[in-house]
């Protein structure tokens, strides 16, 4: 019973969040090319600097942050399979949510409620790939900046340049960390004696962050990565789902919509005026989330800070004096925790076998069927292939002897290659020229795509098909 007295509501919530993440498939279409990159670097004991996985960009420079994450992902997968990636992803997400909880305002009930909603928003983007580290580092930066903002503890700030080294080597969105410091710096500006005064510690932190970001194998050139990647794929992002604006007709976006509306409603009825910092945070992260669905998870970290800060000022959220916990209540809490643990362990146990992860990925058409891959291994079709965009990463992982036409690395392929692939899959003018120019001999595509039905009419022979995939060969 002594343990139950020390167990706060947020501990139960965080435990539930861990099981919620661990009991689900965290691999997706992009996981596989990250695993391929990690495997290549481990086997060759050097960092990737050029493309070795495709024939459309073979030998082209490819310098992308994420190498330590890719190596770590491969080592985990090689030892523990998909279950290892699921559990590590769940652990990192739980740490991010714990950092968020430490920054929230108000009563335990208010913070725990906000944490549940934040977890529902971020969980759909908790995937086994380097972007997960941006969620973790964003939570760490927000936690450190909020701690400094509240009680001016400068020692927390000097951890940020160290974190920036890890962030810049993990994912290309490391610029967000500098942007967060910039937001808190602007929020610190005040007028004294008719002159603007700002926080000098935050101002001095920015050049340190820039310098820390340069401490990577590629040096200062990595600072321009996000600009180069964005400018090279302006057309391609229009039909890549995760880069598009969120679709509010999908159930998975409803937690995001609920969090956004609750935050705006709370601000509207709050007796407390929104600060410049909170206004900039809300504007920045709302804009990012509305522009691209992949940024919704970041909104789920920032919005609860503002929501709880203003909700805590409302009279119905002010907690009443704590009363002693009765024995009956402790027993009830123990039963609830036990049921939560049993349910969580059941979900984790269900997802531990590799078969469960592979079956789920096949069902969502995020990978080709294992039967199709087995057919390719057995029959070894000759020549170059044109593959489904979503399946490129899995094919280069499972069939490294076959260079792919395209995969999820849009920063490498850019509009030039991705739009050529797109012209074939929708049969726009010039699609046959694309196949001829690249000397394509066979294709592996989703069976339910209209293009898969059109190619047999053009004379291509169906060599294999199942419920999900079709393989066609040039006549």
pLDDT tens for 267-297 read 999 888 999 999 999 999 999 999 988 899 9
pLDDT at 91 over 90: no
* pLDDT reported for residue 96: 92
For residues 402 and 409, give the distance between their C-alpha atoms in angstroms, rounded to a whole number.
17
Residue 10 pLDDT > 70? no
* Closest C-alpha among 293, 194, 213 to residue 253: 293
Q: How many residues does the chain have?
A: 475
Find the mean pLDDT for residues 59-85. 92
Q: Which of 350-359, 362-371, 427-436, 443-452 has the lowest mean pLDDT?
A: 350-359
Q: What is the pLDDT of residue 332?
A: 67
Does the structure show a pLDDT above 70 at 437? yes
Task: Quick: pLDDT tens for 380-417.
Answer: 999 999 999 999 999 999 999 999 999 999 889 988 99
Q: Which of 68-82, 301-315, 316-330 is least confident?
A: 316-330
What residues contact residue 120 under an 8 Å CB cut-off, 6+ apart? 255, 300
Over residues 34-51, mean pLDDT: 95
434 neighbors 375 (Cβ within 8 angstroms):
no
Which pLDDT belongs to residue 241? 73
Domain boundaries, the chain: 1-129+326-355, 367-473
Residue 185 has pLDDT above 50, yes or no: yes
Nearest residue to 203 via CA among 222, 220, 183? 183
What is the mean pLDDT of the segment spanning 157-167?
95
What SS3 class is residue 191? strand
Q: Rounded to whole angstroms, how far apart are CA atoms 120 and 304? A: 12
pLDDT at 235 (0 to 100)? 67
Q: What angle do CA 399, 421, 466 make, to 5 degrees?
A: 50
Looking at residues 171-181, what average pLDDT do you find? 94
Cβ atoms 178, 341 nearer than 8 A: no
pLDDT over 70, % of the chain: 86
Neighbours of 91 (CB within 10 A): 13
- pLDDT at residue 417 in the model: 92
DSSP letters, 128-143, are SSTHHHHHHHHHHHHH
Burial 128-161 (b: 16+ CB within 10 A, else e): bbbbbbbbbbbbbbbbbbbbbbeeeeeeebeebb
pLDDT of residue 2: 45
Identify each DSSP E strand in 122-280 by its residue range: 190-192, 195-197
Position 47 pLDDT exceeds 70:
yes
Whether the per-residue pLDDT at 1 is higher than 50: the answer is: no
The whole-chain average pLDDT of the chain stands at: 87
Which residue's structure tokens are 């435990």? 15
Band (pLDDT 50/70/90 cuts) for residue 336 is low
Q: Does the structure show a pLDDT above 60 at 366?
A: yes
Q: Is 447 in contact with 454 (CB distance < 8 Å)?
A: no
Task: Judge whether residue 6 has pLDDT over 50.
Answer: no
Cβ proximity of 226 and 175 under 8 Å: yes
Report in angstroms the alpha-carbon separations of 216 from 163, 411, 416. 13, 19, 28
| Predicted pLDDT of residue 4 | 43
218-232, 300-314, 321-335: least confident range:
321-335
pLDDT confidence bin for 322, thresholds 50/70/90? low
Identify the band that residue 5 occupies on the pLDDT scale cut at 50, 70 and 90.
Answer: very low
The DSSP call for residue 404 is B
- Is the pLDDT confidence value at 316 over 70? no
| Alpha helices (H) in 214-353, listed in sequence order | 225-231, 254-269, 276-291, 296-311, 327-351
């Amino acid at each position: 019973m002594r343990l139950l007295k020390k167990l706060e509501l947020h501990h139960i919530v965080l435990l539930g969040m861990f099981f919620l993440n661990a009991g689900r498939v965290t691999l997706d279409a992009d996981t596989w090319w990250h695993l391929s990159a990690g495997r290549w670097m481990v086997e060759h004991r050097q960092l990737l600097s050029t493309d070795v996985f495709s024939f459309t960009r073979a030998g082209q420079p490819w310098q992308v942050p994420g190498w330590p994450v890719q190596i770590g992902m491969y080592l985990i997968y090689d030892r523990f399979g998909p279950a290892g990636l699921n559990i590590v992803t769940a652990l990192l997400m739980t740490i991010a949510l714990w950092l968020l909880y430490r920054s929230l305002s108000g009563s335990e009930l208010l913070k725990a409620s906000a944490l549940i909603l934040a977890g529902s928003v971020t969980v759909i983007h908790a995937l086994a790939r380097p972007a997960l580290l941006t969620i973790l580092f964003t939570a760490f930066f927000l936690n450190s900046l909020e701690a400094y903002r509240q009680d001016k503890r400068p020692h927390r700030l000097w951890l940020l340049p160290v974190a920036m080294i890890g962030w810049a080597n993990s994912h290309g969105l490391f610029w967000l960390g500098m942007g967060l410091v910039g937001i808190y710096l602007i929020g610190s500006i005040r007028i004294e004696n008719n002159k603007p005064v700002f926080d000098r510690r935050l101002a001095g932190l920015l050049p340190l962050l820039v310098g820390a970001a340069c401490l990577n194998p590629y040096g200062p050139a990595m600072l321009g990565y996000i600009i180069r990647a964005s400018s090279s794929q302006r057309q391609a992002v229009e039909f890549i789902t995760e880069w598009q604006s969120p679709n509010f007709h999908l159930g998975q976006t409803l937690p995001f919509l609920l969090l956004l509306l609750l935050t705006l409603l709370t601000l509207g009825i709050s007796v407390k005026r929104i600060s410049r910092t909170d206004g900039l945070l809300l504007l920045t992260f709302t804009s990012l989330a509305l522009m691209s669905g992949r940024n919704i998870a970041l909104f789920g970290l920032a919005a609860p800070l503002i929501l709880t800060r203003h909700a805590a000022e409302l009279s119905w959220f002010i907690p009443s004096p704590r009363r002693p916990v009765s024995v009956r209540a402790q027993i009830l809490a123990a039963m609830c925790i036990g049921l939560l643990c049993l349910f969580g362990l059941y979900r984790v146990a269900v997802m531990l076998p590799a078969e469960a992860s592979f079956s789920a990925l096949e069902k969502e058409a995020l990978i080709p069927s294992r039967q199709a891959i087995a057919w390719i291994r057995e029959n070894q079709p000759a020549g170059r292939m044109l593959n489904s965009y979503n399946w490129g990463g899995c094919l280069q992982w499972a069939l490294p002897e076959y260079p792919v036409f395209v995969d999820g690395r849009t920063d490498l392929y850019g509009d030039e290659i991705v739009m050529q692939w797109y012209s074939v899959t929708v049969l726009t003018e010039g699609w046959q020229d694309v196949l001829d120019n690249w000397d394509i001999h066979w294709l592996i595509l989703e069976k339910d795509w209209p293009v898969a039905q059109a190619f047999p009419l053009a004379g291509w022979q169906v060599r294999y098909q199942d419920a999900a995939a079709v393989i066609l060969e040039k006549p």
